[in-house]
């Protein structure tokens, strides 16, 4: 078994761990760090449920090995709220019914978190294009788009 020692900062906390070289980043987050908010919907990079922010960029944690993120900074869905207080994007999802079963939601929140940092005033078309890599089987996306626009407006105010 090939192992690697890694140091990684997740949601502001630094972890030093030894990981099996073949372990995916998603499995590392979920199993080693017990951050199970990052979900696995396909494990082949299509559904986007496992999306996290890696040094500020939205990436699919099922397509990376944990060993590849040595020295990186990661944000997961667990890092969005302040204690029990939802952030504006989370709050907008709740207000606009942007989730049903909630399984795809963490991936969407992370995709949109990274997107809104770069595009604070997005059009509907830009939002749709951005979330085209996140599959949702419950909502039909309309309320996710509405929630994103509302969250962007709140943050701009």
Partner 1 sequence: MAGAVGRSVRRKEDHRLLTGRGKYAADFRLPGMLHAAVLRSPHAHASLGAIRTKAALTLPGVVAVVTAEDLGAIGRIPVRLGQRPSATAIACLQPPLAREKVRYVGEPMAVVLAESRYLAEDALDLLDVDYDPLPPVADARRAVERGSPVLHEAIDSNVVDTLHTHRGDARAALAAARHRVGERFTIQRHTGVPLETRGLTAAYESGSGVLRLWGVAKVPHFNRRVLADLLGHPEHLIHFIELEVGGGFGVRGEFYPEDLVVPWAARRFGRPVQWIEDRREHLMATNHSRQQYHDIEIGFDADGRIVALLDRFMVDMGAYIRTHGVTVPELTAALLPGPYRIPHYLSEIRCVLTNKTPSGTYRGPGRFECTFVRERLLDIAAQRLGLDPLELRRRNFVAPAEMPYEVGSGSLNQKTVYDCGDYRSALDRALEAVGYEAARAEQAEARRGGRLIGIGVACLVEKAGLGPWEYARVEVDGTGHVVVYSGIAAVGQGIETTLAQVTADELNVSPEAITVVHGDSAQVPFGVGGFASRGAAVALPAAVEAARKVRAKIVRVAASLLEAAAEDLVLEGGAVHVRGLPDRRVTFRELARAAVPGPPGMEPGLYATHFFEAPKMTYPYGTHVAVVEVDPDTGGVRLLKYAIAYDIGRAVNPMIVDGQLVGALAQGIGGALFEELVYDAQGQPLATTFMDYLIPTAMEMPAATEVRILEETPTPLNPLGVKGVGEGGSSGCGGAIANAVADALAPLGVGITALPLSPDRLLALIRSRAEPAPGPGLLDRS
Rounded to a whole number of angstroms, the minimum distance from the CB of residue 51 to partner 1 is 12
Residue 136 and residue 108 in contact, taking contact as beta carbons nearer than 8 Å: yes
Q: Which of 17, 110, 13 has its CA nearest to residue 67?
A: 17
* Two structure tokens written together for 64: 């990376």
Nearer to partner 1, 71 or 146 (CB): 146
Other beta carbons less than 10 A from residue 29's beta carbon = 25
Give me the least distance between CB of 29 and partner 1, in Å please. Answer: 11
Q: How far is CA 18 from CA 8, 10, 129, in A?
A: 11, 15, 38
DSSP 29: I
Question: Would you say 1 or 71 has its CB closer to partner 1?
Answer: 1
DSSP, collapsed to helix, strand or coil, labels residue 76 as coil
Shorter beta-carbon distance to partner 1: residue 48 or 71:
48
Nearer to partner 1, 145 or 150 (CB): 145
Q: How many alpha carbons lie under 13 Å from residue 122 in its C-beta half-sphere?
A: 26
**CB 100 → partner 1: shortest distance, Å?**
5
Residues near partner 1 (CB under 8 A) are: 20, 22-23, 30, 34-44, 46-47, 49, 76-78, 80-81, 84, 86, 90, 93-95, 97, 99-106, 109, 127-129, 131-145
DSSP 67: G
Query: In the complex, what is the shortest distance from the CB of residue 5 to partner 1, in angstroms, rounded to a whole number?
Result: 19
Q: Which residue has the tokens 């372990």?
A: 23
Work out how close the CB of 127 gets to partner 1 at its nearest, in angstroms, rounded to a whole number: 8
Q: Which is nearer to partner 1, 9 or 71 (CB)?
A: 9
């Amino acid at each position: 078994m090939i192992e690697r020692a890694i140091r990684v900062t997740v949601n502001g906390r630094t972890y030093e761990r030894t990981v099996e070289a073949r372990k995916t980043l998603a499995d590392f987050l979920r199993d080693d760090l017990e951050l199970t908010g990052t979900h696995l919907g396909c494990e082949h990079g299509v559904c986007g449920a496992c999306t996290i922010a890696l040094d500020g960029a939205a990436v699919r944690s099922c397509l990376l090995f944990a060993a590849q993120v040595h020295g990186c900074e990661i944000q997961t869905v667990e890092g969005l709220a302040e204690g029990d207080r939802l952030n504006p994007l989370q709050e907008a999802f709740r207000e606009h019914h942007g989730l049903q079963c909630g399984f795809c939601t963490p991936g969407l929140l992370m995709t949109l978190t990274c997107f809104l940092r770069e595009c604070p005033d997005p059009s509907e078309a830009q939002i749709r294009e951005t979330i085209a890599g996140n599959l949702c089987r419950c909502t039909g996306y309309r309320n996710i788009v509405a929630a994103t626009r509302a969250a962007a407006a709140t943050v701009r105010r």
